[in-house]
Amino acid sequence: MATINVLFAGVGGQGIVTASDILAEAALAAGWGVKKAETHGMAQRGGGVTSHVRLDPAGEVHSPLIPEGQADYLVALEMLEGLRSLWMLKDGGVVLADSRKIAPSGAHRGDAKYPDDAEATLAARGAVVAATEEATRLGDARAANSVLLGMLATRLDIPEEAWQAAFGKCLKPKAAEVNWQAFLAGKAMA
């Protein structure tokens, strides 16, 4: 099997790096080869954050960065950041996005407007779901990334035990439990 490329996109504070860490740890626990890299924009000020995760069941991953137009999956925790990263998705690649909107700073001043067609554009390439709402219902809005990871998990041949171990390794026990429930909810939503 060829390398699987997963690009995570969102805004600082949404758990982009944590989600990519969990995916990487789950793949490692399953014996896969993994490489990852992050880009932190003005993350502490609500700027864009992306994380590249490259996986291969055969262990043959040669670079941490996904080549342009080669992402198999785009996991977007915010729709505008998802739109900004669509160019990285290959033909036939799949979007898994949260329906959450975080207006860019220019929108607050009246300089910019959130795109009206964001949800439809992303949904045309995959699924847009209310991940933040589902995570909030489960007890922690910050677990929206785990809802999307659950959806992604249905498309990857990584055993559930490997995922559970990754949640335990990457998160504190209290956070691991609510995030695990969010992960299972995401699997059910898929």
Mean of the pLDDT values across residues 37-58? Answer: 79
Say which residue, 62 or 36, is predicted with more confidence. 36
Q: pLDDT grade, residue 109 (50/70/90)?
A: low
What structural domains and CATH numbers belong to the chain? 4-106+116-189 (3.40.920.10)
CA distances from 130 to 96, 105, 136, 137 (A): 11, 23, 10, 11
Cα–Cα distances in angstroms (integers) from residue 14 to residues 18, 53, 84, 158, 173, in the given order: 9, 17, 16, 24, 19
pLDDT digits (tens, 9 = 90+) for 93-103: 999 999 999 87
* pLDDT grade for 44, boundaries at 50, 70 and 90: low
pTM of the model: 0.93
Half-sphere exposure of 43 (CA within 13 A, CB side): 15
Three-state SS at 49: strand
Mean pLDDT computed over every residue of the chain? 91
